[in-house]
Structure 1
Amino acid sequence: MAKKSKSRKSSGTAGSKSFSQELSAHFSELSDNASRALERLADSDDPEALHDLRISLRSQRVLLGLFPRCRTLRKQRDHLGMAARLTGLDRDLEVAIGLAESLVNETKTGEQQLSFLTDKLSVSRKKLLTGLQDVRLPLVLSQVDRDWSKKLSNKRKSVLQSAARAQNRKFEKRVLITAADLQMTSPVADWHLLRLQVKRLRYWGEGFASVLTENQCRRIPALIALQQRLGLLHDFCLFESQFQQELILPEPWQQRLEKWQQNALADAAGMLQHLKMRW
């Protein structure tokens, strides 16, 4: 009997270690992806570099949320957040340029506005690269990777699983509260708040899918679809407001953007209703 008990304990420990190693390896992969994206960012011909960098940084910050009381990891998370915030303007400009290109193709007007945005991105990109050097992002990525692995090394799977599921439930509650009274006629700002809550829940679910409940995992595809629609709505509204003092939008652009916003809002409202019914 003693041997059997010892065998079960050994098996559990091995499984826990394997799971910790899996999370550690995933985090290291995100660090590597961020480092490669940072190198590619210097090449202005790579349209996916900034997107890949932001995804990796966001995913890492989500994972670090598993240990909110750890001062070291909380500090590293803040450093990653600082780097991510530096990329915000360039991200908005890249999205704006993509929209402007579509609008030029559809309306046959607005070449001057597109040229303005392209020149603005060129100037902003130089500032971004300097800023990322100033925050020493490669060093931060290396340090946070080491600290994350160290923190995981003595954690059992049951503890990690319980923490991940509990935090997922908190994010779910925030989504439901934010979405409770939303209507098609609600202010766009309210839909933006929902987008932020859905995004947090979506990335948490993706990061810890292997230890979440079946129902929690089942919602992830619907959350992804909803976030994408809410993201489109946000991009359309941001495009109109962000550069309004510098950029006069042609009338055909305004008409097309309004139509796109209404379509994105209708799609998001339908997806949200479907998600509520299946929650």
Structure 2
Amino acid sequence: MSQSKSGCKNAQAEFSRFAKPLVDEALAHAAQGEPSPDDFHKLRVALRRLRTLIWAWRPLLGRKFADLERAYLKRPAAAAGEARDWDIAISLLGDEQTKPDTERLQTARRDARARASSTLAAADLKHALREMLRRVNRELNTSPRRTPIKCLARERVRAARRALRKRMRRAQRANRGDYAPWHEVRKGAKRLRYLLEFFQPVLRRRESRRVKSLRRLQDRFGALNDAVATEHLLGQHREVFADAATADAALAALKRERKRRRRAARELLG
């Protein structure tokens, strides 16, 4: 489809075209009897992208409606994230001197996956996500005005870019031990990248070139977040180590890695 033709379509009618494939992808990974780490990861990504879509359409949906729908999507994503956190922790603790006790670690992983599977089952995603689509479409169809998809895309990309710049400035000013603003940079980069990917057919060509730099930013800040989250997780679960000395060595190694990744991420703040 040419850019001009796709740009003429109205945003209200286009929401489902973007959202339905993501709903189908989320359900495919949630439906596994015993979801693998990859299933949990891909489920989280699909739900995050859905949350970004609803944020993009928020001017047409209203803030209260959109924020409620986004909050619902965050809960199952967080459950899947808890299970995946243990796999990230394992990948970061490669040194023999810092490895957790294998049996205790596997028990912790199984427990986390069981909790995630239980939460996903209780959420009844198959029904809930399809109902969400119907609610959003009904809300959009009652809108008194039609908005060209090109106008919505450009407006929301500009808004996401402004928000990312503000987050980057906050991270620059943050205290050394305050990682919350750094995490917000990662989320802001992810949102802007998703929007550029969604709306690529109706955006100016130069916008697409920015995806590569956003991926780099997202990767650096994501690596930092993994180190921070793993340090916090294992600090709360020292019981997965054979003894206190091993736990102390692991946490010290994670602290060094966290500082190294913080320096690498800071280079991209300008």
TM bracket (short chain)? 0.7 to 0.9
Q: Indicate how the Cα distance of structure 1 residues 15 and 256 shifts in structure 2: closer, same or farther if over 3 A, else same.
A: closer
Q: CA deviation at 1:28?
A: 1.0
The one-letter code matched in structure 2 to 1:26 is: F
Pairs within 5 Å for 1:52-71: 52-68=42-58, 69-70=61-62
Q: CA deviation at 1:108?
A: 5.7
What's the C-alpha RMSD, in Å, of the aligned pairs? Answer: 3.2
Among 36, 49, 57, the residue aligned to 2:28:
36
Q: Indicate how the Cα distance of structure 1 residues 177 and 210 shifts in structure 2: closer, same or farther if over 3 A, else same.
A: farther
**Match in the other structure for 1:107:** 96
Equivalents in 2 of 1:111, 1:215: separation in Å? 47
* Matching of residue 165 in structure 1 with residue 163 in structure 2: no
Gaps in structure 2 of 5+ consecutive residues: 239-243
Equivalents in 2 of 1:147, 1:31: separation in Å? 14
Deviations 1:15-59 (Å, cap 9, x if unpaired)? 53387766532311111100001012x325x33100000000000
Q: CA deviation at 1:119?
A: 0.9
* Matching of residue 223 in structure 1 with residue 211 in structure 2: no
Q: Would you say the 8 A contact 2:10–2:147 is kept in 1?
A: no
Q: Indicate how the Cα distance of structure 1 residues 33 and 239 shifts in structure 2: closer, same or farther if over 3 A, else same.
A: same
Equivalents in 2 of 1:65, 1:266: separation in Å? 31
**Match in the other structure for 2:192:** 201
Deviations 1:208-241 (Å, cap 9, x if unpaired)? 3344445544332212112211121222222222
Deviations 1:148-169 (Å, cap 9, x if unpaired)? 4556675422432343234224
Deviates more, 1:46-55 or 1:88-97: 88-97
**Match in the other structure for 2:81:** 88
* Matching of residue 261 in structure 1 with residue 249 in structure 2: no
Deviates more, 1:125-134 or 1:167-176: 167-176
Equivalents in 1 of 2:167, 2:250: separation in Å? 33
Bigger Rg, structure 1 or 2? 1
The one-letter code matched in structure 1 to 2:83 is: D
Deviates more, 1:224-233 or 1:56-65: 224-233
Pairs within 5 Å for 1:1-279: 16-17=8-9, 24-40=16-32, 42-44=33-35, 46-68=36-58, 69-70=61-62, 72-100=65-93, 103=94, 106-107=95-96, 110-112=99-101, 114-149=102-137, 154-181=146-173, 186-189=176-179, 190-247=181-238, 248=244, 249-250=246-247, 252-254=249-251, 256-273=253-270
**Match in the other structure for 1:6:** none
The number of aligned residues is: 254
Normalised by the size of structure 1, how large is the TM-score?
0.75
Deviates more, 1:64-73 or 1:129-138: 64-73
Deviations 1:89-115 (Å, cap 9, x if unpaired)? 212222123323xx2xx3366351x43
The one-letter code matched in structure 2 to 1:115 is: E
Q: Would you say the 8 A contact 1:171–1:200 is kept in 2?
A: no
Equivalents in 2 of 1:85, 1:194: separation in Å? 19
Gaps in structure 1 of 5+ consecutive residues: 1-10, 274-279
Q: Indicate how the Cα distance of structure 1 residues 269 and 149 shifts in structure 2: closer, same or farther if over 3 A, else same.
A: same
More RCO (CA 8 Å, sep 6+): 2
Normalised by the size of structure 2, how large is the TM-score?
0.77
The share of aligned pairs that are identical, in percent, is 24
Deviates more, 1:217-226 or 1:46-55: 217-226
